[in-house]
Structure formats: structure tokens, C-alpha cells
Amino acid sequence: MSSPQEDFNLHNIAKAQFDKAVPFTTKLEGWRGLAEWLFQPERIIKVTLPVEMDDGYVHTFTGFRVLHDTSRGPGKGGFRFHPSVAEDEVKALATWMTWKCALVDVPFGGAKGGVRCDPTTISWREKRRITRRYIAALGDNIGPHTDIPAPDLYTDAQTMAWVYDTYSMLHPGKNNLAVVTGKPLDLGGSEGREAATASGLLLVIEHMIAVGALPPLNGLSGVTVAIQGFGNVGGHCARLFHNAGAVVVAVSDRHGGVYDPNGLDVTRLGAHLAETGSVVHFPGTESLAVGEVLEAPCDLLVPAAIETQITAENAPRIQAAVVVEGANGPTTPGADEILRDRGITVVPDILANTGGVVVSYFEWVQNLANKSWPAAEVGRLLEEKMRCATDVVLATRAGLLDGFARYQEAWTAVRENDPPLPPPTLRTAAHVAALERCRRATESRGIWP
Ligand code: NAD
């Protein structure tokens, strides 16, 4: 799938995206050093975890928690169970969390964590022991006002309940609910959190269509959608796009995919997944190999599985008019350029998948106030946040395009031997808007001491 010259290191990808944005920030020359500080993570924790497996064998796992930036508030970000978990991956994911929190204007910085393991082969009880040992090992490096975890790949509300319980056992006598978000409703979770990432993604797309920012789409009725990943983000996206009048023609999971040009019955597909453990072999559909879903004929493509799936190798074959990033980092910088040159709009992860952190913020506020808000209130506030963030990105890009000649001139003056500045994409605009917010917060606080 990869192209030999492409760099798939996620932290290098995050840096390449950041570097594209820096020349478009207002103080290119004045704050070079500050830009370096804003990119580097503040803290990297690596833990080694002995965990007794069901057969009595003691397996040693490696876990990470990275706190990227706290200029706007405590760290916030999910943790995952996946074989690819590594320091650079977690650093990149924490960095993107900083930009996301800034973009949707919630008072958090970025953080992320993970334990390297194969979640498809470990039992429920083993998962619980890994979670408990990981959270205990992190100790007071997480907390309601320091760093607040949430679900991500192969972690869910149940995992978050174990996080809360572990932390609470170690910190008795306090209201500890705000230490983690994405919890079950019975344990301080928020209405709307489970589907929040997909709900937010749909709200971004609906708003962009409404303001004419996603030509050729002028509504969702009859729009064909292909989705890679059928977990929390992908599964809810399929249901919500279907309910909004779109036609979900292809979906996939880690085993493979299914395609039906007339549209998949999303509810029956969910039942098939629950019964068989996969979407593959859903009756009446054409089978797709893993990865083929990305190239399926459709108007709108939602990568909602893992990183670096749309690459310089397969980007030329993408048929969608719009790519909406449900996953974090699904598109490589090489693919970004190809899609841009082909006129395919990419709605970037740091805008499109922020619904989860927005409702996590609502959950945190409810927990601190010992209150619970009705679903309608959560939905209304989410819509407000997603629309506002989308408007900020669109306005930022319009401003950058207006002043493009000026930015180019400033760039050429200091980088005369470098390639010319490329025109800003939505990803670059989203980074610029987020970076400016972090810069302003850092500058108002002043550099300690
Ligand atoms: P999940 O574990 O619920 O689902 C993951 C899905 O991806 C599953 O269907 C799995 O089979 C599929 N998958 C795994 N490896 C694959 C592969 N190699 N090829 C194709 N499909 C594969 O995870 P999720 O919470 O839905 O997260 C998906 C993505 O969305 C991740 O990038 C995550 O970081 C991002 N994200 C999640 C949230 C959230 O609230 N859960 C928020 C923002 C971003």
C-alpha cells in the first residue's frame, strides 16, 4: 500500500502538517522559537506493565501517555489498545488533540495514550487488568485538572469505567468522576457521548454543504458514502448518514469490506456484525478486500479506522469528491497533495472528528458540577460548537487565500531556495486557526518564569 518515498512516521506527518501552517501565522519571523515549543510535547511517559494473563502467564506490556501542550488547559485525549502503539504515534495523536481542543475552543490541551497489545486476542478480564495496571502506573500524572483520558481505538465506555474505578480506589473520599470521559451513562457519562464523534462529523458536513463549501454537494439526499472502519466512529457515521438521507454504499472493517451500489441496509449490517464479528459476507453484497473500500465509487469517503490509509499510492484511485477524516491521521502528506491537485476536498481530522472531545468536555463540566444534562441540550451545544469551528476554519482559509500573495512574498524573502509556498488547504487553515489560539494563550501567560 505504501509508496517507497513516503514517510509513515506519524510524528513526522504531524510535523509536516504543522510546518505547512507556520508560514501562514501572523508572526512567522517573531515567534520561530515559540513555534518550536508549541510543537514539542511537554511530557512523555513510558510505563512497563506486568499483567497476569488468564492462563497464569505474566505478560509484560508497554504503555505511553503523552501530554503535548497545556497552554489552554489540562491535557485531554483518548487512549488505545493496538499493536502499533509507539512513542511517535502517541506524540502525534497528542499533538493533534491540542489543535482540536483549540479549534473547538474547549479549555484543554492535547494528550494521548496507549498500550501496545493486540486487543483482538486478549480477553475481557485481561483487558481489565491491563487497564487497571496502566492507570495505576500513570498515578497522579492523570487527574481531573491535569490530564483526562477518554476512549479511542479498541477502548470504550467499559474501559473508561475501569479507569474511573482504578483512579477512585487510589483517591478515595473525593468526587473523581471528571478524571475520565466517555464513561457509561450509569457512571457519570454524558448523553450523546458514544455517538459524539460521528454526530460532530455529520454536523460539519451538513454545515459546509449549507454554506456552499463542499461543491458539488448541495444536500445529503442521495449522496453516496463509503466508510472505512465500522467501530464507534464508522458504525455511528453509517447510521447517521443513512438517517440523513445519504446512501451508504460501502463499509469495511479490519477483515474486509462490502459494497452495494444501491445502498446497504445499515441496521441489518449492524446485526450481521454483532452476530459474526465482521461486516464481511453480509448477504447480497459484493466483497471488498481490506483497503478497497477507499477506492469504491462514492461522493463522500469517510476513513474511520486507523492512520495512514490514504497514501500517495492509492490517492490517484480515490473516486470520492470529498474525503472526511473520521480517523486521526488517515491521509499522508503525499496523498494530501495528490487529492488537492485532483480537486478532491479533504475535511481534516482536527476539525471533522472533534465531536468526541466536545462532548467529553460537556461530560467533564457535568461531572465537576455534579449534574447531568438532557440529550437535547448536549445536541444543541454540540451543534453550536461544530458550526462555530467549521466557520472558523472556512473564514481562516478565505483570509489566507486573500492574503496569499503577501504570505508568498514573506516566505520567498526568508526561504529563497525552498519550493514556493503551496496554497492553503482546509487542513492548513485548521492548523493556522488552532496554532494562533495556542500562541495567543502562551503569549498572554508569558513564558515561565
Ligand atoms: P473502534 O475500535 O471502535 O473501531 C475501529 C474500526 O476500524 C473497527 O471496525 C476495526 O475493525 C477497523 N479497523 C481496524 N484496523 C483496520 C484496518 N487495518 N483496516 C480497516 N479497518 C480497520 O475505534 P474508533 O473509536 O471508531 O476509532 C476509529 C478512528 O477514529 C481512530 O483513528 C480514532 O483515533 C479516531 N477517533 C475516535 C474517536 C472516538 O471518540 N472514539 C474520536 C476521534 C477520533
Mean pLDDT of 393-402: 97
Q: Which of 112, 127, 183, 385 is catalytic?
A: 112
Q: CATH homologous superfamily for 41-176?
A: Leucine Dehydrogenase, chain A, domain 1 (3.40.50.10860)
Residue 257 near residue 288, CB atoms below 8 Å: yes
Q: What spacing in Å lies between the alpha carbon of 304 and ligand 1's midpoint?
A: 6
Averaged confidence pLDDT in the chain: 96
Q: What spacing in Å lies between the alpha carbon of 197 and ligand 1's midpoint?
A: 11
Q: What spacing in Å lies between the alpha carbon of 152 and ligand 1's midpoint?
A: 7
User: Looking at the predicted structure, is the pLDDT value of residue 27 above 90?
Assistant: no
User: Looking at the predicted structure, is the pLDDT value of residue 1 above 70?
Assistant: no
Which residue's CA lies nearest to atom 33 of ligand 1? 327
Give the orientation angle of helix 375-402 with respect to helix 355-369, to 10 degrees: 130
Torsion of CA 146, 152, 157, 160, to 10 degrees: -30
For residue 305, give the ligand 1 atom closest to its CA. Answer: 7
pLDDT interval class at 419 (50, 70, 90): confident
Render pLDDT for 32-54 as a digit per residue (tens, 0 to 9): 578 888 999 999 999 999 999 99
Query: How is domain 196-347 classified at the CATH fold level?
Result: Rossmann fold (3.40.50)
181 lines ligand 1 (CB under 6 A): no
308 lines ligand 1 (CB under 6 A): no
Q: What spacing in Å lies between the alpha carbon of 371 and ligand 1's midpoint?
A: 30
Which grid coordinates are listed for 186? 450509569
Q: What spacing in Å lies between the alpha carbon of 93 and ligand 1's midpoint?
A: 13
For residue 154, give the ligand 1 atom closest to its CA. Answer: 2
294 lines ligand 1 (CB under 6 A): no
Q: In what order do the strands lie in the sheet with 43-52?
A: 43-52, 58-69, 109-116, 75-82, 147-151
Which residue's CA lies nearest to atom 3 of ligand 1? 231
360 lines ligand 1 (CB under 6 A): no
Q: Do 41-176 and 196-347 agree at the fold level?
A: yes
The domain locations on the chain are 41-176, 196-347
pLDDT interval class at 28 (50, 70, 90): very low
Tell me, yes or no, if 112 is annotated catalytic: yes
pLDDT interval class at 2 (50, 70, 90): very low
208 lines ligand 1 (CB under 6 A): no
- Please give the C-alpha separations between residue 98 and each of 78, 92, 246, in angstroms, as whole numbers: 12, 10, 32
Render pLDDT for 65-94 as a digit per residue (tens, 0 to 9): 999 999 999 999 999 999 999 999 999 999
257 lines ligand 1 (CB under 6 A): no
For residue 93, give the ligand 1 atom closest to its CA. Answer: 34
